[in-house]
């Protein structure tokens, strides 16, 4: 099915099942421990052995020798495969660094060996016996030091790097009545998901099956086949449940490759889970940024010039953190400049982490907007409202499909009691605590991806949906079941959903905030085809047939849906593909984030007291699971603001705090009650579901709202995250 015109009325609009706050249908399995996560797939293949991955002890250089003799002779060891046993493997399409093979080391903890043994402990102990000789080389590990060598980069692969300009920024900025010129920075951050990267691999002749934890099944299958030199049809990837990914499991990683190589060497199935240090240093992370923002405005608050240049680092052939994406679209302003600069670093690969680009970009832009509002003597909300735009500022002929940003801010201000905020920082106290409120805009582009599904109707078993879409804790099982139930006119308990298997039709996968809308649109397409098959079998006009309460009706005839399926059942398969609507309309999601904090006047300890997100993100397919996504993202935003930071050893090139003891993330005691409001919105430009993404919108802007609240409480402006107490202490007002 091709979606190339705005959606008209369709069965989803009935909202009998879709749009309802349905409990997750996979909830009982997760709460009883029966949901099959990758490392615990004991039943899928017998006689599983254990693999342990050894990472490089240098960040750049060459391996001169590997002595694995002691490891091979250790008790229980079945096989040892080292990086010198083979040439460098082909890189997957989505990999920046090689996952295995050859003597050259590109980053610290790059996989150099896997040991397979009867038990995990035996494999781990034997791996420690491997002796590796290195010829280290000088590496580049400090973003600030490498900044002078950074070059312009492009956000789009294959596009020429350039500054994006509209009008004359320099001239307009020089003439602006009120100006801001500041630099902000965000640190390297880790995904820190609960479930590690994990895989079980088994060979049957030349055919390989992996049971793994991966967000994008089709990508994983393609890149695993490419890396191992196998025909794609010889690879099967199965990942029905993913215990968190946040972008860290979008791409093929070393656990899958080394489980496969270890299984081939040992002649039996092998399971591998990456340790926490390897998750931080061997896989991917959100790269640090240094962001230079300049804003010029007239006395009435209207922006006349805005520039945002972001610097980040990555390995050779890597890409930049696209932290200026929102600045191109969020606020009006005739004269504009945005650019990305990339420094080559020999740190582990930088890549997608929840809301890549906008999440760190808004941590800078929305603080700059707060600072500019203060210089203008304007309320921060009013400053943003004055600079709202209903069209793409770079292309005024291209309107937003829906844009309720002002409504998000106005509604949030009323709900959060924004009028109680003190305009002058440091004025509100509660005993030893300084109180402050902050606001920031949330913005995330809406992306759509082609997505397929197969739907089967049986006489007795109801409707079965198969798609390789994944559930990474987002509620995919439930919203896909809701879509099929709505389309086929059956109750939710009559729908069975199977996900995460590469033998199913390829879906959008889980990433980029495109998964829910795109995957359900693919199910919609398959259900349309199934409805046509049912109507054809019954001799009904498919355009007039109604599917309601388990019946198919046309005119004065009605047939039970199961009877229409017949003894053999009916199966339909289709995918949703997209035309040029995304080029003709700017599709984005918006939020107003409000935060109240308390800061200890003596110690600088910051505590978040209240949080509110007001979101405009198209039709909300399931308010309960959507709220869960947003509050999880808001929690990540608090972590980014106050504590999350991968500390870089700039001498040896690795992340020092590479476990959950040293890498701090928010815990329950850090997070207050979070309120989430979804504005009533449908977006017929997006898909037949009229939905958009919401999960990543929840993190965008939260960090800045926290930072702005801390400034309002203390009068101390911190422009370099995380906002730890040492950055506040010197500037705190005198204690009473």
Mean pLDDT of the chain: 97
| Percent of the chain scoring above 90 in pLDDT | 98
pLDDT of residue 158: 79
Task: Give 154-177 pLDDT, tens digit per residue.
Answer: 998 878 999 999 999 999 999 999
pLDDT of residue 19: 98
Task: Give 558-582 pLDDT, tens digit per residue.
Answer: 999 999 999 999 999 999 999 999 9
* Euclidean distance between CA atoms 466 and 488, whole angstroms: 15
Nearest to 50 by CA among 79, 27, 21: 79
Of how many residues is the chain composed? 736
Q: What is the mean pLDDT of residues 292-317?
A: 98
pLDDT of residue 736: 52
Task: Give 457-507 pLDDT, tens digit per residue.
Answer: 999 889 999 999 999 999 999 999 999 999 999 999 999 999 999 999 999
Task: Give 203-251 pLDDT, tens digit per residue.
Answer: 999 999 999 999 999 999 999 999 999 999 999 999 999 999 999 999 9
pLDDT of residue 460: 85
Q: What is the mean pLDDT of residues 4-25?
A: 98
Whether 630 shows a pLDDT value over 80: the answer reads: yes
Whether 396 shows a pLDDT value over 70: the answer reads: yes
Active-site positions? 696
pLDDT band at 704 (very low <50, low <70, confident <90, very high): very high
Residue 735 burial class via C-beta count within 10 angstroms: exposed 0-12, middle 13-18, buried 19 and up: exposed
pLDDT of residue 461: 80
* Euclidean distance between CA atoms 627 and 677, whole angstroms: 8
Report helix, strand and coil shares of the chain as percent, to nearest 5.
Answer: 30, 30, 45
C-alpha to C-alpha distances, 577 to 13, 398, 574, nearest whole angstrom = 20, 22, 10
Pairing between strand 606-616 and 674-678?
parallel
Mention every residue, 6+ apart, whose C-beta is less than 8 A from residue 179: 173, 294, 295, 296, 297
Q: What is the mean pLDDT of residues 359-380?
A: 98
Domains of the chain: 2-34+448-579 (3.30.365.10), 38-138+203-281 (3.90.1170.50), 379-446+587-736 (3.30.365.10)
pLDDT of residue 159: 85
pLDDT of residue 64: 98
pLDDT band at 287 (very low <50, low <70, confident <90, very high): very high
pLDDT of residue 172: 98
Task: Give 424-454 pLDDT, tens digit per residue.
Answer: 999 999 999 999 999 999 999 999 999 999 9
Residue 730 burial class via C-beta count within 10 angstroms: exposed 0-12, middle 13-18, buried 19 and up: exposed
């Amino acid at each position: 099915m091709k979606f190339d015109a705005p959606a008209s009325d369709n069965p989803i609009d009935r909202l009998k099942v879709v749009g309802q706050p349905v409990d997750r249908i996979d909830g009982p399995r997760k709460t009883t421990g029966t949901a099959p996560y990758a490392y615990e797939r004991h039943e899928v293949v017998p006689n599983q052995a254990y693999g342990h991955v050894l990472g490089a002890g240098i960040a750049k250089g060459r391996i001169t020798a590997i002595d694995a003799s002691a490891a091979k002779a250790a008790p229980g060891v079945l096989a040892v495969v080292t990086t010198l046993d083979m040439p460098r493997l082909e890189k997957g399409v989505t990999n920046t660094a090689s996952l295995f093979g050859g003597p050259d080391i590109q980053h610290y903890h790059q996989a150099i060996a896997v040991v397979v043994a009867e038990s995990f402990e035996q494999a781990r102990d034997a791996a420690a016996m491997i002796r590796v000789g290195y010829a280290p080389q000088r590496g580049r590990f400090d973003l600030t030091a490498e900044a002078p060598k950074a070059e312009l980069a492009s956000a789009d692969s294959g596009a020429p790097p350039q500054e994006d300009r509209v009008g004359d920024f320099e001239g307009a900025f020089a003439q602006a009545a009120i100006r801001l010129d500041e630099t902000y920075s965000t640190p390297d951050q880790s995904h820190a998901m609960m479930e590690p990267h994990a895989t079980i691999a088994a060979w049957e002749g030349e055919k390989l099956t992996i049971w793994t934890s991966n967000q994008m099944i089709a990508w994983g299958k393609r890149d695993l086949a490419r890396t191992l030199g196998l025909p794609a049809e010889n690879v099967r990837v199965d990942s029905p449940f993913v215990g968190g990914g946040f972008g860290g499991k979008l791409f093929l990683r070393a656990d899958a490759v080394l489980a496969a190589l270890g299984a081939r060497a040992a002649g039996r199935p092998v399971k591998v889970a990456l340790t926490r240090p390897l998750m931080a240093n061997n896989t991917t992370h959100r790269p640090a940024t240094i962001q230079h923002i300049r804003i010029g405005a007239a006395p009435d608050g209207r922006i006349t010039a805005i520039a945002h240049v972001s610097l980040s680092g990555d390995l050779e052939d890597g890409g930049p953190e696209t932290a200026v994406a929102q600045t191109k679209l969020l606020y009006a302003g005739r004269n504009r400049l945005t650019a990305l600069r990339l420094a080559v670093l020999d740190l582990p690969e930088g890549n997608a982490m929840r809301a890549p680009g906008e999440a760190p970009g808004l941590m800078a832009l929305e603080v700059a907007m707060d600072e500019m509002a203060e210089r203008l003597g304007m309320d921060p909300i009013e400053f943003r409202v004055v600079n709202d735009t209903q069209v793409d500022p770079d292309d005024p002929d291209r309107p937003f499909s829906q844009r309720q940003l002002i409504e998000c801010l106005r509604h949030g201000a009323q709900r959060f009691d924004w009028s109680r905020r003190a305009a002058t920082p440091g004025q509100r106290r509660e005993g030893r605590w300084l109180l402050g409120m902050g606001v920031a805009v949330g913005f995330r582009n809406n992306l759509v991806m082609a997505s397929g599904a197969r739907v089967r109707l049986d006489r007795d078993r109801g409707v079965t949906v198969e798609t390789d879409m994944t559930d990474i804790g987002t509620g995919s099982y439930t919203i896909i079941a809701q879509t099929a139930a709505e389309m086929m006119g059956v109750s939710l308990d009559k729908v069975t959903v199977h996900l995460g298997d590469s033998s199913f039709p390829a879906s959008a996968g889980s990433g980029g905030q495109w998964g829910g809308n795109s995957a359900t649109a693919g199910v919609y397409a398959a259900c349309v085809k199934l409805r046509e098959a049912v109507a054809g079998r019954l001799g009904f006009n498919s355009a007039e047939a109604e599917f309601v309460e388990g019946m198919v009706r046309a005119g004065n005839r009605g047939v039970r849906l199961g009877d229409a399926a017949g003894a053999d059942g009916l199966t339909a398969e289709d995918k949703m593909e997209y035309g040029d609507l995304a080029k003709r309309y700017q599709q984005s999601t918006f939020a107003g984030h409000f935060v109240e904090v308390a800061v200890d006047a003596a110690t600088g300890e910051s505590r978040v007291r209240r949080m509110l997100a007001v979101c405009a993100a198209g039709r909300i397919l399931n308010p309960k699971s959507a709220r869960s996504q947003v509050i999880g993202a808001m929690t990540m935003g608090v972590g980014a603001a106050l504590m999350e930071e991968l500390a870089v050893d700039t001498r040896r090139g690795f992340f020092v705090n590479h476990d959950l003891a040293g890498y701090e993330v928010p815990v329950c005691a850090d997070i207050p009650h979070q309120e989430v409001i979804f504005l009533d919105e449908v977006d017929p430009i997006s898909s037949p579901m009229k939905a958009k993404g919401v999960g990543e919108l929840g993190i965008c802007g939260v960090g800045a709202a926290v930072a702005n609240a801390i400034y309002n409480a203390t009068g101390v402006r911190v422009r370099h995250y995380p906002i730890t107490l040492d950055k506040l202490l010197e500037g705190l007002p005198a204690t009473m």
